[in-house]
Amino acid sequence: MLSVKRIVAPTDFSRHSELSLEAAAELAEKFSAALQVLHIVVPQIYQSEMPEMMLPPVEDRTKDMLAAARRRMDHWRQGAPKGLRLTTHVVESTRKEDTAICEFAEAQDADLIVIGSHGHTGLMHLLLGSTAEHVVRHAHCPVLVVKPRVPIT
């Protein structure tokens, strides 16, 4: 039988992620498991061929992205069910989000990853790829993919 003591739930703060976080919180309550909500920040590097175009240094943009993610995570934590053993993590990584999720979950010795799916198919899937699909293929533990029941716009 599956023993679930530690659940990792990555979020990109989209509506799809909200649904997967709700499912992860329910599972954590049912299994009396610890829930670790994770957001990965990948520094965005912009190059410009126009010297007159001034962009803030990459470090400043990354700090802003981390601060914004922490604020959103704090907001989510405030609405989380009371009594939930909850830890939130905002992690900066130079790796792709899907790889960083798998590495984080393994480092935390997670028993389950709960992740949302945007449900892209065909050309959209080919162009955008699938974080959830990569996590399913490469995670060290079981992965529950939460799809919306109806399309979210």
Three state DSSP letters for the chain: CCCCCEEEEECCCCHHHHHHHHHHHHHHHHHCCEEEEEEEECCCCCCCCCCCCCCCCHHHHHHHHHHHHHHHHHHHHHHCCCCCCEEEEEEECCCCHHHHHHHHHHHCCCCEEEEECCCCCHHHHHHHCCHHHHHHHHCCCCEEEECCCCCCC
Confidence of residue 50 (pLDDT cuts 50, 70, 90): low
Confidence of residue 11 (pLDDT cuts 50, 70, 90): very high
Q: Give the model confidence (pLDDT) of 92-111 as tens digits.
A: 998 889 999 999 999 999 99
